[in-house]
Structure 1
Amino acid sequence: MDLRIFTEPQQGASYDDQLRVAQRAERLGYDAFFRSDHFVAMGGDGLPGPTDSWVTLGGIARETSTIRLGTLVTSATFRQPGLLAIQVAQVDAMSGGRVELGLGAGWFEREHAAYGFPFPPKRFGLLTEQFEILTGLWGTPEGETFSYDGEHYQLAQSPALPKPVQKPLPLIVGGNGPRRTPALAARFAAEYNTSFPEIADIPTRFATVRSACEEAGRDPETLTYSAALVLAVGADEAEFTRRAAAIGREPGELREHGIAGTVAEARARLEQLKEWGAGRVYLQVLDLSDLDHLDLVATEIMPALR
């Protein structure tokens, strides 16, 4: 099982804060450093203010060498697909082929209003067309052009450059929808992710996506299945309680919904997810100043899962 660090920089983190976490995660052997793609804090003042996900990942790409990088997830409402294709391909080149793109329909209306992003009431069509355009642009042979005539986007004779280093660049489809999201994952994704579900629902989420793959004529085993869950682990109960307080969460609630508690409890939860078919887990780290938290998981939990 891969363990990935997942951060929420909109809650209050500078580029330097994120870089420190990414570099520590790389040294400790985590598989990836991922970040959310949001522009307004969900509680708190968010100081020093938001950072753009792809600008940030481009910088981190040049300051790391092995850890994979990506978003969970970029909103289709934030960028035109042609621009996003260029941005992601460029960061993939800057990293030497270590980028993955999680892409979603967007949901947080307030951040759209705050920065002037359109927020149409129906967004799944936008998302579907973005996947079609991204894969079309990146899959067009060099020297040929790509055109697209959709309901939401039109591209005319694009040179379809630059290309990502990875062929294909891994795409992640996330969400808990029962029908359209699994079908989208079966069609486009290298990975399906369920973020912050009820723990007991995870096997059903995975089973639904497996069924969608079978209906689409795709081998379900060609898809990676993952979950994103909050992390709060302590070497003992006192340390766990301190970490729960630092992120403003109740210990009991964290134990119910996250990778939380003592080392033994966290290891048992991850083993359970592995038995259910999770090939990787995104550990949502909310206190970016607590690098010892990453050390604890890497030393006491990670070896048992590999």
Structure 2
Amino acid sequence: MTTPDPTSALPTSPTSPTRPARPVRVGLQIQPQHGSYDQIRRTADAAERLGVDVLFTWDHFFPLSGDPDGLHFECWTTLAAWAEQTERVELGALVTCNSYRAPDLLADMARTVDHISAGRLILGIGAGWFQRDYDEYGYEFGTPGRRLDDLATAMPRIRARWAALNPPPTRDIPVLIGGGGERKTLRIVAEHAQVWHSFADAAELARKSAVLDRWCAEVGREPGEIERSVSVRRASGPGDEAQALLAAGATLFVAETTGPEHDLAGLAAWVEWRDRQNELRTA
């Protein structure tokens, strides 16, 4: 049976009438590189006090910028620590590399952090891409297509393990899948995710969101079941870019901060912008 090509006959509108009006949310990725863990802990505290909705780390073993052998900390032990440290924010990886842990083990780890946090974990996951991680930790790098196939195979195993665990997760753990590949990644998103994360600008986000809508139709899901999330790197806070991304369908906006200082300049402006947008949506 031939798989339909979602890039043909795309919807003419980047949005769908079936999508609900979601609240706007703000996340922060605290990149665990070049700083002490004490600084990371204090940054997480400060971000929660400022009012962000979600805290993210990333799942790498080495820095992605600056000194490639600089200070760095592991993803899931950090998430467990944040789960104890924080009280309100949701937590997750942006994103966990599917290749680094067996799916059943990852499911159990996620279930445990879900309980530690009293139901605040988001399972952010992707196929992986940073070859140094693979080479130095002994994982097979393979090809992008193979890694995506492995991710598609892992998702049902993760959900099956959640159903088998005692105790089970405290809630239906939301799955965030990152990436923008139109033939494979967005189909996996349509089948398994509650959140799709992109690094696109507004025009690309709208176009790829339309492809995701088409995949949703192919697999029998409502597009509105999947929140659109996007990384924003504007340090000084939102501007015209944020409004364009919002118009393109994004509702979760993820800023980033990196070591050694983990500067939060501009984060309060993002939170204030979020609150204004939500007031407008409920007016």
TM-score by length of 1: 0.77
Q: Could you list the runs of 5+ residues in structure 2 that have no partner in the other structure?
A: 1-23, 279-283
C-alpha contact (below 8 Å) 1:12/1:47 kept by paired residues: no
Query: Equivalences for 1:1-306 in 2 at 5 Å?
Result: 1-9=24-32, 11-45=33-67, 49-121=71-143, 122-140=146-164, 160-166=165-171, 168-195=172-199, 197-233=200-236, 266-286=238-258, 288-299=261-272, 301-306=273-278
Aligned AA (2:95):
V
Supply the AA of the counterpart residue of 1:126: D
Give the paired residue count: 252
CA offset at residue 267 of structure 1?
3.3
How far does the alpha carbon of each residue in 1:277-297 deviate from its partner, in whole angstroms, 9 at most, with x for none?
112111122354323442343
Give the residue type in structure 2 aligned to 1:176. G
Q: Name the CA distance, whole Å, in 1 between partners of 2:244 and 2:175.
A: 25
The amino acid of 1:213's aligned partner reads C
Q: Aligned AA for 1:207?
A: A
Contact 1:75 1:106 in 2 (8 A): yes
Instruction: Give the Cα–Cα distance (whole angstroms) in 2 for the partners of residues 231 and 13 of structure 1.
Output: 21
Shift of 1:119: 1.8
Alpha carbons of structure 1 residues 16 and 48: separation in structure 2 relative to 1, 3 Å = farther
Q: Which has the higher contact order (CA 8 A, sep 6+)?
A: 2
Identity %: 31
- Using the size of structure 2 for normalisation, the TM-score is 0.83
Evaluate the alpha carbon distance shift between residue 47 and residue 298 of structure 1 in structure 2; reply closer, same or farther with a 3 A threshold.
farther
Measure, in 1, the Cα distance between the counterparts of 2:158 and 2:181: 22
Q: Distance between the aligned counterparts of 2:166 and 2:43, measured in 1?
A: 32
Mapped to 2, the partners of 1:60 and 1:164 lie a distance apart of 18
Say what the alpha-carbon RMSD is for the aligned residues: 1.8
Instruction: State the Cα distance separating 1:229 from its structure 2 match.
Output: 2.4
- Specify whether residues 161 and 15 from structure 1 end up closer, same or farther in structure 2 by C-alpha distance, changes over 3 A only: farther
